[in-house]
């Protein structure tokens, strides 16, 4: 979406305070996504008059969210004030519950990571309360670090590898964890309330949806329509259309891991046979690349440690590892071709564990797209490797947690007073 489109929409609202808040958010987003600029350029690019933009920038500076620096002093030629986002006073927390690992990150408004924690778990043998207690402990550590850094926490968003009902905020079904109808947000909120008062708002979302949020880039036209493939024990997915993650009717869109690709294949965690994730999930790669007693399969290790070992073996050209990566890459491309034929995305992003091993997976994916997509040049679709990899979901969760501040920066004064 172009900045000007947002302007048109908010201008139609009658409430002047709401218009002002939305315009301040528009300026903040523009500074975050496109970097520091002069007040004049900022006004032109956001479709605001220079007078209005200057007044709003002053208000944002009073809230401590932007700094204004005289360009003359930096010897930049023409006089003008450079406006820069100052993100350190507020952060969002993203958390992730997966079958074999938990992760938490706190990211400030400028995108800098201020706290990061992760832990390997065996999510299949632990009951949901046990997993949520471990996660709440990590979130609590992140809240403490944010406090030490002087940042107000705008919210906490927990990503789960499963179906999350956006309206009720309940985890409807997480097949690989064996969860059904779990109120994860309320559970985490209750646990945090014993140490943090008041507790920042807690929300829950599908982890691949959050991973896709981290991949959004309004400055890249090829990312306005994209498919994000988030590789974990299974396979999560999200479809981005017109610059937004498409949630579907109940928030359940993107369950591409359960596309049937191999009717005579393996049993899936969901109870069906031959789902796409049974041939591309980390479990499938580990089964193809390692023996059952291989330390890489040890759930006590963090995901990063396991992947680092696989990367090392691939770099040493270990035959079994390379063959397994080629097999997974070929299946990944076979399923991706179905999505490219259906959606004609500008980009297919290999995220999650796929990104760490992207160097070896991408050639096979591109070969399948070239062979299986009807449109010329694979529909012009680019295969990109996520810069965030397995941290994309927690990063996306942190970004989603910051949304209320970007929608209404004036609410920050209240947050500063309430949660510090």
The residues binding Zn ion (CB under 5 A) are: 258, 268, 270, 272, 275
Burial class (CB in 10 A: 0-12, 13-18, 19+), 333: buried
* Choice between 273 and 407, CB closer to Zn ion: 273
Give the rounded distance of the alpha carbon of 215 from its chain centre.
7
Are the CB atoms for 43 and 52 separated by under 8 Å?
yes
Strands 226-231 and 347-352: parallel
Whole-number minimum distance, CB 255 to Zn ion, in Å?
8
* Choice between 200 and 257, CB closer to Zn ion: 257
* Choice between 275 and 279, CB closer to Zn ion: 275
Task: Please give the sequence-ordered ranges of beta strands (E in DSSP) within 124-251, or none if there are none.
Answer: 152-160, 163-164, 171-174, 179-182, 202-206, 226-231, 235-241, 244-245
Whole-number minimum distance, CB 358 to Zn ion, in Å?
24
3-state secondary structure (DSSP) of residue 322: helix
Are the CB atoms for 344 and 375 separated by under 8 Å?
yes
Whole-number minimum distance, CB 5 to Zn ion, in Å?
38
* Choice between 170 and 258, CB closer to Zn ion: 258
Are the CB atoms for 245 and 208 separated by under 8 Å?
no
Whole-number minimum distance, CB 161 to Zn ion, in Å?
12
Report how far residue 190's alpha carbon sits from residue 185's, in angstroms, rounded to the nearest whole number: 9
Whole-number minimum distance, CB 268 to Zn ion, in Å?
3
Whole-number minimum distance, CB 401 to Zn ion, in Å?
30
* Choice between 43 and 171, CB closer to Zn ion: 171
Are the CB atoms for 204 and 171 separated by under 8 Å?
yes
CB neighbours of residue 312 within 10 Å: 11
* Choice between 68 and 270, CB closer to Zn ion: 270
Six token digits for residue 317:
């050209």
* Choice between 45 and 262, CB closer to Zn ion: 262
Whole-number minimum distance, CB 278 to Zn ion, in Å?
7
Whole-number minimum distance, CB 144 to Zn ion, in Å?
39
Residue with tokens 């007044």: 55
Report how far residue 367's alpha carbon sits from residue 373's, in angstroms, rounded to the nearest whole number: 10
* Choice between 258 and 395, CB closer to Zn ion: 258
Per DSSP, helices labelled H in 149-281 are: 184-192, 207-215, 277-280
CB neighbours of residue 414 within 10 Å: 10
* Choice between 164 and 275, CB closer to Zn ion: 275
3-state secondary structure (DSSP) of residue 231: strand
Q: State residue 273 phi and psi, 5-degree precision.
A: -115, 135
Whole-number minimum distance, CB 270 to Zn ion, in Å?
3
234 secondary structure, DSSP code: S
CA proximity to 340, closest of 367, 373, 384: 373
Report how far residue 163's alpha carbon sits from residue 207's, in angstroms, rounded to the nearest whole number: 9
Report how far residue 332's alpha carbon sits from residue 282's, in angstroms, rounded to the nearest whole number: 12
Whole-number minimum distance, CB 195 to Zn ion, in Å?
38
Are the CB atoms for 153 and 143 separated by under 8 Å?
yes
* Choice between 89 and 278, CB closer to Zn ion: 278
């Amino acid at each position: 979406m172009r900045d000007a489109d947002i302007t048109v929409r908010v201008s139609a609202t009658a409430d002047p305070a709401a218009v002002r808040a939305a315009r301040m958010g528009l300026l903040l987003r523009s500074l975050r996504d496109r970097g520091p600029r002069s007040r004049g350029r900022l006004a032109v690019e956001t479709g605001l008059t220079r007078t209005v933009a200057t007044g709003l920038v002053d208000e944002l500076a009073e809230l401590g969210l932007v700094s204004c620096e005289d360009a003359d002093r930096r010897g930049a030629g023409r006089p003008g004030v450079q406006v820069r986002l100052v993100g350190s006073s507020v952060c969002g927390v993203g958390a992730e519950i997966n079958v074999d690992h938990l992760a938490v990150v706190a990211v400030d408004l400028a995108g800098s990571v201020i706290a990061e924690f992760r832990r390997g778990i065996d999510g299949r043998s632990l009951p949901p309360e046990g997993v949520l207690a471990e996660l709440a402990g990590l979130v609590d550590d992140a809240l403490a670090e944010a406090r030490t850094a002087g940042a107000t926490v705008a919210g906490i968003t927990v990503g789960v590898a499963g179906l999350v009902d956006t309206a009720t905020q309940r985890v409807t079904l997480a097949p690989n964890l064996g969860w059904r109808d779990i109120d994860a947000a309320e559970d985490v909120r209750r646990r945090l309330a014993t140490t943090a008062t008041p507790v920042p708002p807690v929300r829950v979302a599908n982890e691949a949806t959050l991973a896709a949020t981290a991949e959004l880039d309004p400055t890249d036209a090829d990312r306005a329509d994209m498919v994000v493939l988030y590789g974990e024990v299974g396979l999560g997915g999200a479809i981005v259309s017109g610059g937004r993650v498409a949630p579907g009717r109940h928030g359940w869109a993107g369950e591409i891991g359960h596309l049937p690709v191999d009717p005579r294949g393996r049993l899936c965690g969901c109870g069906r046979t031959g789902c796409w994730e049974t041939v591309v999930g980390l479990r499938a790669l580990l089964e193809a690349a390692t023996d059952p007693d291989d330390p890489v399969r040890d759930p006590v290790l963090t995901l990063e440690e396991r992947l680092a070992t696989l990367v090392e073996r691939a770099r040493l050209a270990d035959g079994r590892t390379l063959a397994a990566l080629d097999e997974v890459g070929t299946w990944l491309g076979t399923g991706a071709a179905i999505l490219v034929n259906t959606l004609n995305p500008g980009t297919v992003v290999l995220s999650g564990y796929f990104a760490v091993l992207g160097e070896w997976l991408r050639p096979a994916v591109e070969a399948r797209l070239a062979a299986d997509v009807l449109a010329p040049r694979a529909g012009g679709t680019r295969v990109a490797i996520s810069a965030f990899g397995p941290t994309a979901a927690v990063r996306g969760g942190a970004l989603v947690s910051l949304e209320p501040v970007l929608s209404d920066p004036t609410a920050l004064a209240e947050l500063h007073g309430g949660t510090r």
